[in-house]
Structure 1
Amino acid sequence: MAPMVLMFIAGTIKYAERIWALMVAGISITPGSSSMSDYVLNVESSVLDDAESYFQRLHDLLSSESQDKIDYEGLVEVAGKGMRIWLNFLTDMAPFLMWNKGDTIDRAIRKLRGLRKPELRHQIAYKLAEIQLSLVYDFMYTKYGVLQYHLNLVYSGIERLVTFGATSAALVLFLKADLDGQFAYDVRADVKVSYVLLAGAVALDLTSIFMVISSYWPYLPGRSPFVKIGFPGKRAMFNLTKLVHPLGKGLWSGQMAQYNLISECINEKQANLFVWVLRKVGLVSDVKHIKVSPDLKEFLFGKLLDIGATKHVHHYWKWDCSTFRGQWARSTLEETAEGRSIDQSILNLEGGTIASAVLMWHMITEMCFYNTTDDHCSSTLHRDMSRQLSNYVMYLVGKCGVKNGSDGRFEYGKLRRDVSKALAHKRFSGGRLEQKKVILYAYEGRGVFTSRASAAAKELLKITSSAERWEFIATVWTEMLCFLAQNCEAAFHIKNLSTGGEFVTHVRILSIILGIPFLREAWQAQARDDTEYSDFVMF
């Protein structure tokens, strides 16, 4: 009777905990609900207060260290300060907000830019993004994430100690009853099964406790009104966390998908019946995965850092990444004499849907790739980077449907039709198809999409410096990726957290780390005389 009562108590606590966690996680997140609308309407003050605390802690971290290495424990504490900010922005519960808390953001960004080792800038930022997404995943998909966020390790730990103690005591009492001969007349198989179940329950409780104390949550203060600091023994316990999650070990795959539309069309044309069936059932795919190179990370972070360092509102909207108008690319063109001579109207940098821009530039990138043979180190670096970003953004739009509505699907179908018509030409009737030959044929201006892409590619090839040309193309793709990071639906970000998040999700987190969602300074001095910006305070 005693083991049964103890297991009933432990089970009741666990199910009550699960119900409470689901209830709390579901509050204010139902699309279209009045509670969600009220939350978004009143989110400004809480987000700004949290942001001030977060950016101040980030500034202190960057100021206190020798700046020669990453302070792992300090990054975890910074991530804890920004937990609610990330949740609100990542789940689309907070709009872009006008910053009115002084120069806290700008001081933190200046510290980041001023690190003695430039490579530490993006390393710190990307590691902070990894830690933050790990916390968001725990909050969205695990009970202990919700409990730690709303309570504290001290309070949620009491529940775990009670259930572990009750389960362990039940196992000991059951063993004692067995040794005393109380089960002598029972079926022995039933007794063995009971042992297995009790031992399994104890093992599950131990696993749960280990997962909590080896995670980052003990270093977060939680929202409990009674305890405003993390677990008292957190510094000593951080050694266990470093063993489970060492600094050099990534918390995500570190990969991004690659999808090339032309390559897929070629593979479909060459596929025999067996391969065709495998493709239809999804056993053969044209999507590949590659590692995100450090050079690509540094290049993208550098572009975002330039935006984050923009203090004035009117400058910010010129460098905005919440809309795609090709403003980053146009600025890059204007930096050189050859770039300024390019006819920007041919480049399709603005106008139309983002899907049509992605499809167009996917073709432009392929045409420039196969029409040049660059051996210079810098041009090769940006060329490879451009093609990787082109294939990744094409994967997001073409395969994942990010920002790809009915208009985008229509444009996607038109491009596939153009490529299929090109492949039906008699010059491709025999032998193995080579992607280079297909691209060069499209470069001649076949089809609606390919003719426009060909005109843009020919205009870009007028830039004699291959390094400048490929840096410009890489900038176009970087701006597209940042646009998608800011504007794709929250569900896409959240559902991929089980593998550490998509690369585009990390890009969105980086923008928050750099304070991009907060419009700051100049507003107080200039907006009084310029009503153009008065509508951007809150919407």
Structure 2
Amino acid sequence: MERGEEKLSVRNATRAATAWVASPVGRLARIEVLVTISCCLLAVLVLLGSGRRANRRATPRLAVWSALMLSYPAVSYTIGLMQSASFRNELIVVWGCFLLLLLGCADGIAAYTLNDSDQQARTILNQGLQVVYVFILLLSYVGALPLHLKVLLFLLWALSGIKLGMRVRSSILAGRDSVLTVENKLIADYMSNKEHTEGGRDYDAATMKGYKYVVAGEADRPIDPSHPEIVTVEKVWQCQGILLSSSDVDAAARRRKDICLSFAMFKLLRRRLGGFPLTEARLNKTRDFVKVGLLAGEDHERMYRVIEVELGFLFDFYYARYRSPKETLIPDMLLFAAVVVTSLCTLFSPAVVDHRPPSNTVATGFDIWLTRTVIVLFLVLESFQFLMLVFSDWHKVKMLCRYVREPSWHSRPGLQRMLKLMCRFRLIGYWNNSVGQYSLLSACLHSQRKGVWRLPLPWWFMGFLIRTRTTRHRNLPEEVKRSIYVFLKNGLARVRYGEYSLEKNGVLNILRLSARPTKLQATSAVERILIWNIATQVCDLLSQGQLGSEPSGSPIKKERLVATTLSAYCAYLVSSAPELLPEHSYDTRLLLEGVQSEAREALKGCLSRDGIYHKLQAVQADPAASVHRYILVEGRRLGEVVHNDMPSMVNRWEFLAELWVELLLSVAPSDNMTGHVQKLANGGELITHLWALLTHAGVVEKRTMIAESYIV
């Protein structure tokens, strides 16, 4: 009896809830919930969209991806539900207008992956349909709205249409297809025919004399560097205005010039991504551009900063709705002012401030607060989006180029102070400044502890599971950045997959790789990475007790930090980003999974880090063994030799640090431009920065470093 009464109670409650949802109040509540969800999605898209490259955590990236996928369907469904409502509430049309405006200001991100970068036409069409739907909604309420609210809402709708029109115009002017065909062709022809002949042999990379790399001014005609509209790197450096002073004392002026330099480098890199050859790659002038120009002085941060800004332009080009330097911001400023004034008038209008719903209107009590919240949210997001536009590097480059073209601006202190202020601020970072870390032996030990190897899983899936659970990210240490800078400055022309470091330290004979098993090919770059990753871990294990007595900040600990960080980063590239390495990604994955399987078998029963070396000692070399056994045994052997036969601990870790810098630089040149651009979507990798830097030094093909003794 009680059970029957309980079922009846549940049935009645379900019927009551269903009836309430179908009632006018229930439908209004559904619309309010959907408006709230849509606003949250658009807020995430605006606030986190462009900043996702500066955040390595997965949660913000997942939030941005979800917002990009769901925002337009959510807004479309919400406006459709508003149109089909059988009740009247004048605030609904206010929500519709501001949802439309919010949809228009969420333009900080155009794509989440490279495959999405050509979907702007679909997005614009979707927004155009929402403009039509909101107009129909306005017409249905035109007789019930107060006159002042009617005027404001129609004005807001018109401003939404104007914003959409400006977006279409911007998309046409800055269309990627047009840039990749027309502008890239102009830059390619100019660099192959005119740049090095116009600059001649009289060049100086320290002062950028003779470097006529185009910053701005190219149009649909062959480029002439003497044309007053063409701004080159040389002209920027020769500018006599205070804003771009050539004095090395003014660090701020140097940074402003470097923004223009980064933009010119972005155009050269984009030309390569468009499939055009780098005809200047083999010129000494190109090598000196990096070695004498970017690597000059002792400020290693400048090299990274210039490349970061360059890759920031590349990110915007593919993944954001960037503004071409050819466009003026005057229409945007006027539209922003009109939208803000109209929105404030709506927020403080009698219909919103003194809201008293008519007796025949359906209301919930929450609707007026939702209206105020939506308007305030739009004002915040629209202001943020406008500031992002004003303080963007694209706008800075445009204004600095105008400063170069207009000598009259040099004598206007007010204008110069405004430009200084604009160039000083940036609202988002360029990248997360972190590197992935993965150590093969430690990962296999982790699988022993967690019992992953006992699970009845395919060996390839087991390897993937181990990698995902043992891969982490850490901030890029300054010691690592400094070591890469010093090596590039002193050994840019001597990168040979570790051979230069072996020769320099006089250990080429004792640390040369031993004979490989029969019928195996020559050692590949990925094999070298895995061998030396194991060797570095073995050396670290054997040195652990001695390192504990060293004071913090000692040279030994600094060099050890560089060696272990880069060793784990190169192994991370093998495990998580093989497409950025010279070998085919499929072969790289197969090699890693085979070595993992061999290492797990060798470490079976090992439950502590201290026992790794003793387990590896039991693994013996076999002339008929597989390449996976060879890598494991050779890595252990080299680790023992480095620990036992190097003269001192300082030299030991100094050698390993230099070796890993050389190995990373050796694998940085790549023909897979698409892989690097795809990685930019999630913040980018350190190897992408080095890839771009070496490209500007003329190192553009991986086979150059394999077949020849020197890369430059």
For normalisation by structure 1, the TM-score amounts to 0.71
8 Å Cα contact 1:39-1:93 kept in structure 2: no
User: 1:484 and 1:19 mapped to 2: Cα distance?
Assistant: 41
- 1:358 corresponding residue in structure 2: 529
Q: Percent identity?
A: 17
Q: Deviations over 1:126-151 (max 9, x none)?
A: 222333333333333332xx21x353
- The partner residue of 1:158 within 321, 327, 331 is 331
Q: Deviations over 1:295-349 (max 9, x none)?
A: 21111012223455xxxxxxx5xx46xxxx52xx32333335x42543635399x
Q: Deviations over 1:201-257 (max 9, x none)?
A: 3333222112222333332128999x9679994642443553556xxx974333212
8 Å Cα contact 1:214-1:241 kept in structure 2: yes
Q: Deviations over 1:177-202 (max 9, x none)?
A: 63899987466666665554444433
- The partner residue of 1:367 within 523, 527, 538 is 538
Q: Does 1:508 align with 2:684?
A: no
- 1:268 corresponding residue in structure 2: 447
Shift of 1:487: 1.6
8 Å Cα contact 1:259-1:391 kept in structure 2: yes
- 1:346 corresponding residue in structure 2: 514
User: 2:671 and 2:420 mapped to 1: Cα distance?
Assistant: 36
Q: Does 1:137 align with 2:306?
A: no
Mapping of residues 366-445 of structure 1, within 5 Å = 366-372=537-543, 377-402=554-579, 403=581, 404-424=584-604, 428=605, 432=608, 434=610, 436-437=612-613, 440-441=616-617, 445=621
User: 1:283 and 1:345 mapped to 2: Cα distance?
Assistant: 27
User: 2:500 and 2:384 mapped to 1: Cα distance?
Assistant: 54
User: 1:379 and 1:454 mapped to 2: Cα distance?
Assistant: 22
Q: 1:478 to 1:51 in 2, by over 3 A?
A: farther
- 1:299 corresponding residue in structure 2: 483
User: 2:560 and 2:342 mapped to 1: Cα distance?
Assistant: 65
Q: Which amino acid aligns with 1:517?
A: G
User: 2:326 and 2:483 mapped to 1: Cα distance?
Assistant: 40
Q: Deviations over 1:253-280 (max 9, x none)?
A: 332121112111111121158x989x99
Q: 1:454 to 1:67 in 2, by over 3 A?
A: farther
Q: Which amino acid aligns with 1:346?
A: S
- 1:217 corresponding residue in structure 2: 394
Mapping of residues 116-127 of structure 1, within 5 Å = 118=298, 120=299, 122-127=300-305
Q: 1:36 to 1:171 in 2, by over 3 A?
A: closer
Shift of 1:392: 0.5
User: 2:541 and 2:476 mapped to 1: Cα distance?
Assistant: 23
Shift of 1:510: 3.6
Shift of 1:491: 4.3
Partner of 1:505: helix, strand, or coil? helix
User: 1:405 and 1:218 mapped to 2: Cα distance?
Assistant: 39
User: 1:357 and 1:92 mapped to 2: Cα distance?
Assistant: 32
Q: Deviations over 1:75-121 (max 9, x none)?
A: 334334434234445x4645443269985873774366653xx2x2x
User: 1:435 and 1:41 mapped to 2: Cα distance?
Assistant: 60
Q: Deviations over 1:454-473 (max 9, x none)?
A: 44445555443444444443
Mapping of residues 122-271 of structure 1, within 5 Å = 122-143=300-321, 146-147=322-323, 149-152=324-327, 155-166=328-339, 168-169=341-342, 171-172=344-345, 175-176=348-349, 178=351, 185=358, 193-221=370-398, 233=415, 235-239=417-421, 242=424, 251-271=430-450
8 Å Cα contact 1:43-1:94 kept in structure 2: no
Partner of 1:351: helix, strand, or coil? coil
- 1:289 corresponding residue in structure 2: 473
8 Å Cα contact 2:180-2:271 kept in structure 1: no
- 1:32 corresponding residue in structure 2: none
User: 1:243 and 1:14 mapped to 2: Cα distance?
Assistant: 26
Q: 1:160 to 1:270 in 2, by over 3 A?
A: same
- The partner residue of 1:15 within 148, 157, 164 is 164
User: 1:100 and 1:356 mapped to 2: Cα distance?
Assistant: 29
- Work out which structure has the larger RCO, using CA pairs closer than 8 Å and 6 or more positions apart in sequence: 1
8 Å Cα contact 1:129-1:506 kept in structure 2: yes
Q: 1:300 to 1:94 in 2, by over 3 A?
A: farther
User: 1:128 and 1:211 mapped to 2: Cα distance?
Assistant: 20
User: 1:67 and 1:509 mapped to 2: Cα distance?
Assistant: 27
8 Å Cα contact 1:55-1:105 kept in structure 2: no
Q: 1:46 to 1:70 in 2, by over 3 A?
A: same
Partner of 1:290: helix, strand, or coil? strand
What is the RMSD computed on CA atoms of the aligned residues? 4.8
Q: 1:235 to 1:480 in 2, by over 3 A?
A: farther
Q: Which amino acid aligns with 1:44?
A: A
8 Å Cα contact 1:422-1:438 kept in structure 2: no
- 2:233 corresponding residue in structure 1: 54
Shift of 1:417: 1.4
Q: 1:233 to 1:93 in 2, by over 3 A?
A: farther
Q: Which amino acid aligns with 2:391?
A: S
8 Å Cα contact 1:367-1:454 kept in structure 2: yes
Shift of 1:517: 2.5
User: 1:450 and 1:468 mapped to 2: Cα distance?
Assistant: 24
Q: Does 1:27 align with 2:176?
A: yes
Q: 1:13 to 1:110 in 2, by over 3 A?
A: same
Q: Which amino acid aligns with 1:297?
A: K
- 1:335 corresponding residue in structure 2: 504
Shift of 1:390: 0.9
Q: Does 1:66 align with 2:249?
A: yes
Q: 1:151 to 1:166 in 2, by over 3 A?
A: same
User: 1:444 and 1:459 mapped to 2: Cα distance?
Assistant: 16
Q: Which amino acid aligns with 2:488?
A: L
Q: 1:18 to 1:305 in 2, by over 3 A?
A: farther
Q: Which amino acid aligns with 1:294?
A: E
Q: Which amino acid aligns with 2:525?
A: I
- 1:527 corresponding residue in structure 2: none
User: 2:633 and 2:603 mapped to 1: Cα distance?
Assistant: 15
Structure ID, larger Rg: 2
User: 1:80 and 1:198 mapped to 2: Cα distance?
Assistant: 37
Give structure 2 stretches of 5+ with no counterpart: 1-149, 196-211, 216-231, 623-628, 701-706
Q: 1:113 to 1:223 in 2, by over 3 A?
A: closer
Q: 1:466 to 1:272 in 2, by over 3 A?
A: closer
8 Å Cα contact 1:151-1:223 kept in structure 2: no
For normalisation by structure 2, the TM-score amounts to 0.56
User: 1:80 and 1:498 mapped to 2: Cα distance?
Assistant: 19
Q: Deviations over 1:158-193 (max 9, x none)?
A: 134225404532652685563899987466666665
The alignment of Structure 1 onto Structure 2 pairs a total of residues equal to 481
